[in-house]
Amino acid sequence: MNSMTAIPLLQVKDLTIDLFTEHAAVRPVDGVSYDVSQGETLAIVGESGSGKTVLNFAPLGLMPTGVSVQTGGQIIFDGQDITKLSERQLRSIRGKSIGFIFQDPMSALNPARRIGRQIAETVELHLGLSATQAESRTLELLKLVGMSDPESRLQQYPHELSGGLRQRVMISIAIAAEPKLLIADEPTTALDVTIQAQILQLLKEIQSRLHMAIVLITHDMGVVAATASKVAVMYAGRIVEQGPVHQVLVRPWHPYTTGLIDAIPRAEDMPGSLFRGLPGAPPILGGPVEACAFNPRCAYAIETCRNRRPPLLATPTPPVIAACPVVLGQWQEGGAP
């Protein structure tokens, strides 16, 4: 109950990320702020080009070769500003105080090494255990993630496991060092629904046991509702709406959030009836625009939306904030902005 007064574990303040590649300079994250406390799950929702993945991976030095990262703003994790750390300091945080789960466990695991060895390696590295100690800890971890017959699993290779079991292995590696924060990038997108339900349940159990904070990157509102307490909706590198899940998903303010939620098929939709969605296509990554990036697809767009950047405003359902001054009555057609 003291989470109200305690300092959040992760505070992102006005974060801007520029990526430079051989061909272009882009700003996939533009002035984003949020925080996550221990034991809390924040879902970051967005489509391709929304910047949701870059936001979480670029500041930790997880970008492919050939991409240069420049950050502005602050990311205060556990009392220190991550944007100021060197690669060596980041390395000691990655995998130790911050764990990662990726969408495709097969490409995140080494195909040529046994499961047990891969988990033990992480344990040895981050907890400084001996080989025998690491082995018993590995067994403990596999039991924790609900693997059946953990002793024989240790000897198996990733390709011998199903997608769901591989994701359990990934989770056991991610939580090996009992991280304070877990970043999960579309952890169930590649899985079947019955397996997805198991994995989401497992994440919840582990979270309450280890009291971790989780940042969950996803595009699936069902996953958000099932696991997160807070949600930030991103569009073209900016947060367009943010607040508690039980408020945002029930009463969205931003036309984009409304559109996304409206697009989910409902029980009362008859077979053969038209699908609801948004017109147009998601934005292509580029430089920042002095406008609302959503305006070409928006039914509420007025002239001001095309030449002014909409600020995040308080809504009638606090603490939800949304970046749509039109819906919130601040900008009017024809009126002076």
Partner 1 sequence: MRILREILSYLAELPKLALFAVGVFIFLGALGPWIAPYDPNIQDLLSANQGPSGVHWFGTDHLGRDSLSRLIVSARTSVVGMVLVLFIALSVGVTIGTIAGYKRGWVEEILMRIVDVGLAMPSLIVALAVIGILGTGYWNMILAMALAWWPGSARISRAVAVNVMNRPHMESLRVLGANPFRIYFMHLLPSTLGAVLVYATADAGAVALSIATLSFLGLGIQPPTPEWGQMLVDALPLLEWSPRQVILPGLALTGAVVGFNLLGEAIALKRVPTLLSSSVLKQRRATALLWKRS
Partner 2 sequence: MSGGHVLRVENLVTRFKSVERGKWITAVDDASIDLKPGEIVGLVGESGCGKSTLGRSIVGLEKPDSGRILLDGVDLATLSGRKLRDTRRAIQYVFQDPYASLNDRQTIGEALAEALTIKGDLSPAGFRLRIRTLLEQVGLPDSLHERYPRELSGGQRQRVAIARALAVEPRVLICDEPVSALDLSVRAQVMNLFLRLQQELGVACLFIAHDLALVRQAATRVYVMYLGKVAEEGPSLDVYERPGHPYTRALLASIPSADPRIAAKRTLSAIKGDIPSPTNPPSGCRFRTRCPLAVQACAEAQPPMVPLSTGHAAACIFAGQENPRIGLSQTIGAVV
DSSP code, position 290: S
Residue 256, phi then psi, degrees to nearest 5 = -70, -45
Question: In sequence order, what E strands does the chain have?
Answer: 10-20, 25-36, 41-45, 68-77, 80-81, 98-101, 181-185, 213-218, 230-235, 238-244, 313-314, 321-322
Q: What residue 18 binds from partner 1, partner 2, none (CB within 5 to 8 A, per partner kind)?
A: partner 1
Residue with tokens 């100690």: 133
CB of 198 to partner 2, least distance (A): 5
Q: Is 16 in the site for partner 1 (CB under 8 A)?
A: yes
Q: Residue 280 or 329: which CB sits closer to partner 2?
A: 280
CB of 101 to partner 1, least distance (A): 25
Q: What residue 113 binds from partner 1, partner 2, none (CB within 5 to 8 A, per partner kind)?
A: none
Which two three-digit tokens encode residue 12? 């992102």
Pick one of 3, 263, 311, 314: the residue that binds partner 2 (CB under 8 A). 263
Task: Print the binding letters for residues 291-320 with partner 1: x by CB under 8 A, - otherwise.
Answer: ------------------x-----------
Look at residue 297 and give its three-state secondary structure: helix
Q: Is 333 in the site for partner 1 (CB under 8 A)?
A: no
Q: Is 64 in the site for partner 1 (CB under 8 A)?
A: yes
Q: Is 337 in the site for partner 1 (CB under 8 A)?
A: no
d(CA 325, CA 309): 10
Pick one of 1, 4, 66, 334: the residue that binds partner 1 (CB under 8 A). 66
Look at residue 239 and give its three-state secondary structure: strand
Around Cβ 237, how many Cβ atoms within 10 Å? 28
Residue 127, phi then psi, degrees to nearest 5 = -105, -5
Q: What residue 245 binds from partner 1, partner 2, none (CB within 5 to 8 A, per partner kind)?
A: partner 2
Which two three-digit tokens encode residue 84? 């100021």
Q: Is 27 in the site for partner 1 (CB under 8 A)?
A: yes
Characterize the bridge pairing of strands 230-235 and 238-244: antiparallel
Residue numbers of the site for partner 1 (CB under 8 A)?
A: 16, 18, 20-22, 24-25, 27, 31, 64-68, 70, 72, 287-288, 290, 309
Residue numbers of the site for partner 2 (CB under 8 A)?
A: 47-48, 162-165, 192-198, 200-201, 219-226, 245-246, 249-250, 259-261, 263-265, 269-282, 297
